[in-house]
């Protein structure tokens, strides 16, 4: 009868075949270039604390990732800087164009005053400005300024007035003279009052509803008579002011 269990010879043959197969797999694995064993990188503690640089040749994926990350960061920084520069340039051009348009719209060139230097102003409460009115003098005015250093008895009234106009633009009488600005203020107020009146009239015609009939004089008279007949507040109120015997108000 056949044996139900494998014999010893069969087991030995199976073991020999298994060894041959494992040997062939090891040989094929060792000959393939991509399956060669690689050296393990040193631990992080040794690499960072012992000043031992990591072997980048054994970690190509890590090196490529770091290189791509740094290159991407530099590219983004370059793009951001370029966009910021173009935006600032564009805004500067727009501001310059707007200022030029404003100056051209007024029909004359607008000079910006330097606020760091003393300014001249005509004010009643400031008799002596920070500087004189005229900075650039003509030859006649220069000779007159030299003559000013001498005795003033030798100066004529016209020369004194000319010297005053060099230092000041207006006299106190000219500064106190009314300039008629009140006319502009009154005209502006009347204009806005007129506009407001027209708006109120338009609202009364087209916006507000009709006056209720209870506001009519006939309705008010009937309402007062009704309150008197009902003797509303006869002690100190409405009905107390009516004389019921004489039929008239007290």
Taking only the tens place, the pLDDT of each residue in 34-78 is 555 454 544 544 444 444 444 444 444 444 444 444 554 555 555
Q: Distance between CA atoms of 200 and 17, rounded to whole angstroms?
A: 112
Q: Are both 121-178 and 196-249 of the same fold?
A: yes
Spatial distance between the Cα atoms of 188 and 153, rounded to a whole number of angstroms: 52
Residue 141 CA to residue 163 CA, distance in Å, equals: 8
Q: Looking at residue 14, what is its pLDDT?
A: 74
User: What residue spans define the domains of the chain?
Assistant: 121-178, 196-249
- Convert 46-78 to b/e letters by CB count within 10 Å (16 or more is b): eeeeeeeeeeeeeeeeeeeeeeeeeeeeeeeee
For helices 157-167 and 139-148, give the axis angle rounded to 10 degrees: 110
- Interatomic CA distance for residues 143 and 137, integer angstroms: 10
pLDDT of 46: 44
Q: What is the pLDDT tens value at each position of the chain, 250 positions in all?
A: 444 444 445 677 777 777 777 777 765 656 554 555 454 544 544 444 444 444 444 444 444 444 444 554 555 555 456 565 666 666 655 555 555 545 544 555 556 767 788 889 899 898 889 899 998 899 999 999 999 999 998 999 999 999 999 999 999 999 998 888 999 999 999 999 999 999 999 999 999 998 899 999 999 999 999 999 999 999 999 999 999 999 999 8
Write down the pLDDT at residue 113: 65
Beta strands (DSSP E) in the chain are 242-243, 248-249
CA-wise closest residue to 129 among 162, 155, 159, 166: 166
* Residue 53: predicted pLDDT: 46
Q: Cα angle at 132 between 130 and 138, to 5 degrees?
A: 155
Taking residue 237's Cβ as centre, other Cβ atoms within 10 Å add up to 11
Tell me: the pLDDT tens digits for 164-175?
999 999 999 999
Asked: is 121-178 a CATH 3.40.1350.10 domain? The reply is no
Would the pTM of this model clear 0.75, i.e. be above it? no
pLDDT at 106: 52
Any idea which residue has 């051009």 for tokens? 93
Give phi and psi for 123, each to the nearest 5.
-135, 140
**Cβ-Cβ contacts under 8 Å for 232 (sequence gap 6 or more):** 238, 239
Q: Are 144 and 163 in contact (CB under 8 A)?
A: yes
Measured distance between the N- and C-terminal CA atoms of the chain, rounded to whole angstroms: 149
**Residue of 144, 142, 177 whose CA lies nearest to 161:** 144
Residue 58 pLDDT: 44
Looking at residue 189, its pLDDT comes to: 98
DSSP state of 242: E
CATH H superfamily, domain 196-249: Cytochrome c oxidase subunit IV (1.10.442.10)
For residues 182-206, one letter each, b for 16 or more C-beta atoms within 10 angstroms of the residue's C-beta and e for the rest, the string is eeeeeeeeeeeeeeeeeeeeeeeee
């Amino acid at each position: 009868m056949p044996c139900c269990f494998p014999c010893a010879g069969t087991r030995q043959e199976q073991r020999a075949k298994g060894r041959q197969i494992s040997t062939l797999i090891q040989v094929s694995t060792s000959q393939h270039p991509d399956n060669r064993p690689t050296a393990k990188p040193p631990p992080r503690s040794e690499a960072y604390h012992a000043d031992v640089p990591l072997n980048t040749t054994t970690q190509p994926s890590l090196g490529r990732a770091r290189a791509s990350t740094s290159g991407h960061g530099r590219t983004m920084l370059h793009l951001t800087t370029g966009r910021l520069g173009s935006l600032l340039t564009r805004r500067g051009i727009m501001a310059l164009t707007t200022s030029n348009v404003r100056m051209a719209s007024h029909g004359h060139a607008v000079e910006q005053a330097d606020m760091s230097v003393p300014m001249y102003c005509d004010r009643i409460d400031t008799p002596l400005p920070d500087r004189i009115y005229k900075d650039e003098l003509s030859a006649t005015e220069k000779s007159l300024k030299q003559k000013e250093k001498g005795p003033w008895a030798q100066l004529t009234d016209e020369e004194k007035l000319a010297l005053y106009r060099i230092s000041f633009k207006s006299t106190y009488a000219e500064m106190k003279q009314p300039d008629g600005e009140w006319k502009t203020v009154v005209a502006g107020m009347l204009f806005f009052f007129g506009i407001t009146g027209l708006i109120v009239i338009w609202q009364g015609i087209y916006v507000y509803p009709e006056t209720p009939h209870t506001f009519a004089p006939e309705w008010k008279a009937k309402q007062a008579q009704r309150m008197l007949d009902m003797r509303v507040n006869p002690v100190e109120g409405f009905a107390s002011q009516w004389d019921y015997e004489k039929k008239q108000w007290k």
